Amino acid sequence: MREATTDRASQTGVRTTLRVNNTTHELSTDSRLTLLDALRDVLGLTGTKKGCDQGACGACTVIVDGQRVLSCLTLVAACEGQHVVTIEGLATGDELHPIQAAFLHCDAFQCGYCTPGQILSAVCAVQEVHAGLPSHVTPDVRQTVNASTLTDEEIRERMSGNLCRCAAYPNIVAAVRQVLVSSGARSAKEDGHEALHV
């Protein structure tokens, strides 16, 4: 057993190495620190938002090892060796990620607080659709879904983990649809690698 403590005097200290937006960080933190608080308070990446802080609203959504997850329910100590992508890591230089561009084009936000989480969630939702993966509202889980024929109900279900108190939902659905249609020709794998820089 490796005691993940850095200081004998502090049994609650823990050292964690993780990559965030392609930069490796060695963090020495309190074991209670969530990934959300580590991103915001330790690394200064305040694009990731703290909404409910109890796993209900999705504002803190980030992508860890290619999967969208809630950073508020993730202990940073449990992220050893993992790669985190936040909203700050999505664009390539000045070139916005297609989901970011679609949110602007479709005016898919009002106050903007939920927007980083919505965008990261949408990046993964689009990849999941391109991989053909079903959702709860897919009529038959044996079937693979098709991006070009995906219903609004499907998009809403896939985005249901991200709440928007301004109720910008119709335009969020429109933004996701725009990307699904425009990226339909690309394979899910290509899209995933472009999107996540992994």
Partner 1 sequence: MKPFTFKRAAASDDAVRAVAARPGAMFLAGGTTLVDLMKVDVLTPDTVVGVGHLGMSTIDETDDAMVIGATVTNSQLAWHPVVRDRYPVLAEAILSGATTQLRNMATVAGNILQRTRCSYFRDVHASCNRRQPGSGCDAIEGFNRGHAVLGVSEHCIATHPSDMCVAMVVLDAAVHTMRADGTTRSIPFDELHQAPGDTPHIEVALEHGELITHIVIPHLPAARRSHYLKVRDRASYEFALASAAVVLDLEGDTIRSARLGLGGIATRPWRAIEAEHILTGRTASDDTFRDAAEIALAGAVGREHNHFKIELAKRTIVRAFASVRDVSL
Q: Which is nearer to partner 1, 22 or 67 (CB)?
A: 67
Instruction: Give the span between the Cα atoms of 152 and 174, in whole angstroms.
Output: 9
Classify burial at 41, counting beta carbons within 10 Å of its beta carbon; exposed 0-12, middle 13-18, buried 19 or more.
middle
Q: Which is nearer to partner 1, 135 or 178 (CB)?
A: 135
Task: Give yes or no for a contact between 98 and 90, defined as CB atoms under 8 angstroms apart.
Answer: no
The tokens describing 43, both together, are 């690394």
Q: Which is nearer to partner 1, 70 or 90 (CB)?
A: 70
Task: Give yes or no for a contact between 163 and 57, defined as CB atoms under 8 angstroms apart.
Answer: yes
Q: Which is nearer to partner 1, 134 or 184 (CB)?
A: 134
Q: What is the 3-state secondary structure (H, E, C) of 153-186?
A: HHHHHHCCCCCCCCCCHHHHHHHHHHHHHHCCCC
Q: How far is the CB of 163 from partner 1 (least distance, A)?
A: 9
Q: How far is the CB of 1 from partner 1 (least distance, A)?
A: 5
Residues lying near partner 1 in the complex (CB under 8 A) are found at 1-5, 11-12, 14, 30-32, 34, 53-55, 58, 61, 67-70, 73-75, 77-78, 80-81, 121, 124-125, 128, 133-136, 140-142, 156-158, 160-161
Q: How far is the CB of 47 from partner 1 (least distance, A)?
A: 17
